[in-house]
Amino acid sequence: MEKRETLRVEERPNDVLLATLDRPEVANAFDGKTALDLCGLFERFQSDERCRCVVITGAGDKAFCSGADLKERKSLSDEQWRSQHETFERMFRAVRDCPIPVIAAVNGAAYAGGLELVLHCDFAYASIAAKFALTEVSLGIMPGGGGTQTLPRVVGERRAKEVILAARPFSAEEALAWGVVNKLCEPGEVLQETLRAADRLASLAPLALRQVKHAINEGLHRDLASAMRLEIEAYNRLVDTEDRREGIRAFNEKRAPKFEGR
């Protein structure tokens, strides 16, 4: 296990990586150091192909992440605030642009930047006790980690406006019904459920997973015709791979495939 000041990074079996926000004394809020740690972790996946899936969670059973550490930010000048926020923006981009699957295990409250972090993951499982909110307007600011863009794409424009404009928290049951999370788990079981999902993804062809994620993420922002062309481009990148050949061999030989990511 790799221990950083704010982040625990554990290499799990099957090339799964578990990243735990480790500041439970402040509800796993991220400060500048946490943001840099997350940047360092997720940016490395642009060139490091050994890992097949990342699970991100929070330490303890009360909070996934409560967003930016406001106790740290209270002493910042305007210039320091903007500079720090540029680091936060880089952190969110690193998670959003990660080429391998990223799953959130939401073990507790996901507020402000914590919810934005969940929304930048590919999907999420949550505890039935989890709570969600983008309440920045109650502090005189607004979501700055993509919340005004990602939440409407998930829950729809009018619901997102109600949640953000009214600074209205919502429950785990609402998060499931609205598509913010994919599954609810009993408290204490969400991490294991998420790791099982990660193991399933890690057993599949890693190059195919990367191309699927790329096609979905990029295609959603295009018209259907150009998105279909994007899909075929991604499809054709897999034709010459050994993983494609192994998958077809294994199917015909009635055995489990052994994908090597090449």
User: What is the structure's pLDDT at 2?
Assistant: 58
Domains 2-202 and 206-252 share a fold: no
Q: Which of 2, 116, 246, 260 is catalytic?
A: 116
Q: Which CATH architecture has domain 2-202?
A: Alpha-Beta Complex (3.90)
Task: Judge whether 136 counts as a catalytic residue.
Answer: yes
Contact between residue 142 and residue 112 where contact means Cβ atoms under 8 Å apart: no
Q: Is 77 helix (H, G, I), strand (E, B) or coil?
A: coil
Task: Give, in order, the Cα–Cα distances in Å from 141 to each of 18, 34, 135, 253.
Answer: 32, 21, 9, 59
The ranges assigned to domains in the chain are: 2-202, 206-252
Instruction: Give pLDDT < 50 ranges for the chain.
Output: none
The superfamily CATH assigns to domain 206-252 is Lyase 2-enoyl-coa Hydratase, Chain  A, domain 2 (1.10.12.10)
Q: Which residues contact 137 (CB under 8 A, 6 or more apart)?
A: 164, 165, 167
Q: Which of 49, 79, 89, 136 is catalytic?
A: 136
Q: Phi and psi at residue 54, in whole multiples of 5°?
A: -120, 135
User: What is the structure's pLDDT at 42?
Assistant: 95
Nearest 5°: the CA angle 42, 45, 46 is 110
How many whole angstroms separate alpha carbon 164 and alpha carbon 215?
29
Contact between residue 52 and residue 209 where contact means Cβ atoms under 8 Å apart: yes
User: What is the structure's pLDDT at 70?
Assistant: 82
Direct distance between the N- and C-terminal alpha carbons of the chain, in angstroms, rounded to an integer: 27
User: What is the structure's pLDDT at 246?
Assistant: 93
Contact between residue 32 and residue 84 where contact means Cβ atoms under 8 Å apart: yes
Q: Which pTM does this prediction carry? A: 0.93
Buried/exposed 16-29: b ≥16 CB within 10 Å, e otherwise = bbbbbbbbeebbbb
Task: Judge whether 193 counts as a catalytic residue.
Answer: no
